[in-house]
Amino acid sequence: MCDESILDLDELNEECGVFGIYGHPDASQFTYYGLHALQHRGQESAGIVSTNRDKFHVHRGTGLVTEVFDNERIRKLKGNIAIGHVRYSTAGGTGIANAQPLVFNFAKGELAIATNGNLVNANRLRKELEETGSIFQTTTDTEVIAHLIARSQAPTLEEAVKEALGRVVGAYALLILTNDQLIAAEDPLGLRPFSMGVLGEAHVFSSETCAFDIIGADFWREVEPGEMIIIDQDGLRTSRFAPRAEGKICSFEYVYFARPDSNIGGINVHAARKRMGRVLAEESPVEADVVTGVPDSSTSAAIGFAEATGIPYELGLIKNRYVGRTFIQPSQELREQGVKMKLSAVRGVVEGKRVVMVDDSIVRGTTSRRIVNLLREAGATEVHVRISSPPVKNPCFYGIDTPTRDQLVASSMTVAEICEEIGADSLSFISTEGMVEAISGAAGGTKRGYCLACFTGHYPTAIEDEMAIGGKR
């Protein structure tokens, strides 16, 4: 995964992934594999906390999962319950202090906590807590939840967690570990994906189902919006901290964030992307010789587009997988061309051809312009850009790192203006209705509701004032 600061790209980034397991002697080892499968959801830090019912074993560090852990470190993470976390973040800042899971000692014992998502009332709650004596060790939203739990007068941890979750607003898939319990909870709107599986006698939880496949676990079901699941020596029980609701899963998980081999709401992500490509082709057909996708997240949609039109799908763009985080800082000139470090156009495929370039989204527009340029330099005679999501006009406050509204090209330009800006021969986005139809059209899909706020501006929760002003984070 490329370092954004070095390569000056404008992708959106997921902020976190969580994984947990209860009841397996190799809990930490499986958590390591699970986090590895979730690496695309965060590359800045990784951490695992395990317990042998006596005390916590903790290891966290900055970097990729394979950089943070080795055999020796995993061996020391003893016990049959573990939770883990991978993090990418601008909200809350970087660095080891913010690496999760966070660990606390409080009146009811030791507690480790990890979340995937973002709260929209964290600033106000933090201020309230600080004014009444709480001292924060990190700048994460996760610590706000931990302080609310610690402050609760409720007689049990379960009640304290419910009380805390009753006060926070936003998106989260949450895992809490104590020395004898694992607690999983999903926000009342189910904004972030969160699934439960079984591995023999053990129970596993993951931000995405792809982690279950890696460790050989079977998917059981999703954690429902507003549901809290507790596993301890008495078994598994479930309760609600918010009324049952339809849910508003993040539609961008299907467009871009989730791995294509994951299923969300019973819908395979690759299949949903392919259908987006088909709908896009029906809505915005074009005469061309070849279809190519911007790797890797747009490949499925490009295949769908090609199938629907009969125009052959080709690998017109190749990703350089080895541009790592330690890549030497390029000169300004190379920086401007940063996309070349990451992508190459295949001259033999595009030279002399009219090319349809399918991409999943346009954020600032800079990357699209560079890719169009790459294709033209490689000899494409026409470049028609087709985008498998609607224009991103609004920032996300639910755990996706979007730029501020004024940096989103679609918030201030028409489609025709963006087309000119990126130098394409034509440009079309899928309609919002078309995208929703494409996502939920899967056989076996659960037809749940979707968050579409970054496209429509209709946020499914209230947003605290200071965050909403000008779309600033």
Instruction: Say whether residue 400 binds ligand SF4 (CB under 6 A).
Output: yes
Establish whether the linkage from the previous residue to 360 is cis, with ω within 30° of 0.
Answer: no
- Is 252 near ligand SF4 (CB under 6 A)? yes
Task: Name the token pair of 193.
Answer: 């994906």
Would you say 262 is a known binding-site residue? no
Which member of 64, 183, 279, 454 binds ligand SF4 (CB under 6 A)? Answer: 454
**Residue 262 CB neighbours (<10 A):** 26
Query: Residue 15 or residue 158: which is nearer to ligand SF4 going by CB?
Result: 15
* 251 forms part of the interface with ligand SF4 (CB under 6 A): yes
Asked if 177 touches ligand SF4 (CB under 6 A), the answer is no
Answer yes or no whether residue 173 interacts with ligand SF4 by CB under 6 A: no
Nearer to ligand SF4, 182 or 453 (CB): 453
250 assigned to a ligand binding site: yes
431 is in an annotated binding site: no
* One of 422, 453, 463, 467 touching ligand SF4 (CB under 6 A): 453
Q: Assign 395 to helix, strand or coil.
A: coil
428 near ligand SF4 (CB under 6 A): no
Closest CA to 343 of 293, 308, 393: 293
Q: How many residues does the chain have?
A: 473
Considering only CA atoms, which of 85, 84, 76 is closest in space to residue 52? Answer: 76
Count CA atoms closer than 13 A to 472's CA, side-chain side. Answer: 4
**383 belongs to the binding site for ligand SF4 (CB under 6 A):** no
Establish whether 2 is an annotated binding residue.
Answer: no
How many angstroms separate the CA atoms of 229 and 223, rounded? 8
φ/ψ bin of 166: left (φ > 0), alpha (ψ from -120 to 50), beta (otherwise): alpha
Is residue 359 marked as binding? yes
Q: Under the criterion CB under 6 A, does residue 191 sit at the interface with ligand SF4?
A: yes
* Residue 211 within binding range of ligand SF4, rule CB under 6 A: no
The site that binds ligand SF4 (CB under 6 A) totals a number of residues, namely 11
* Binding region for ligand SF4 (CB under 6 A) out of 132-140, 292-300, 313-321, 449-457: 449-457
Stretch that binds ligand SF4, among 98-106, 123-131, 221-229, 451-459 (CB under 6 A): 451-459
Task: Determine if residue 419 is labeled as part of a ligand binding site.
Answer: no
How many alpha carbons fall within 13 Å on the CB side of residue 374?
A: 25
CB atoms within 10 A of CB 129: 18
Active site residues: 16
DSSP bridge partners of 136: none
User: Parallel, antiparallel, or unpaired: how do β-strands 426-429 and 354-359 relate?
Assistant: unpaired
For the chain, the 3-state helix, strand and coil shares in percent, each to the nearest 5, are 35, 25, 40
396 lies in the site for ligand SF4, by CB under 6 A: yes
Q: Which of residues 267-326 bind ligand SF4 (CB under 6 A)?
A: none
Q: Within 343-362, which residues bind ligand SF4 (CB under 6 A)?
A: none
Q: Is the peptide bond before 101 cis (omega within 30 degrees of 0)?
A: yes
Does residue 254 belong to the site contacting ligand SF4 (CB under 6 A)?
no
Angle at 38 between CA 37 and CA 42, to 5 degrees: 140
Using rule CB under 6 A, residue 88 touches ligand SF4: no
Which stretch in 225-233, 353-361, 419-427, 450-458 sits in contact with ligand SF4 by CB under 6 A?
450-458
CB of 254 to ligand SF4, least distance (A): 9
How near is the Cβ of 32 to ligand SF4 at its closest, in Å?
28
| Concatenated DSSP letters of 293-334 | E-TTTTHHHHHHHHHHH-PPB---EEE-TT--TTPPPPPHHH
The binding site comprises 250, 297, 359-360, 396, 451, 454
The binding site for Mg(2+) comprises 297, 359-360
Chain residues in the site for ligand SF4 (CB under 6 A) = 191, 250-252, 396, 398, 400, 451-454
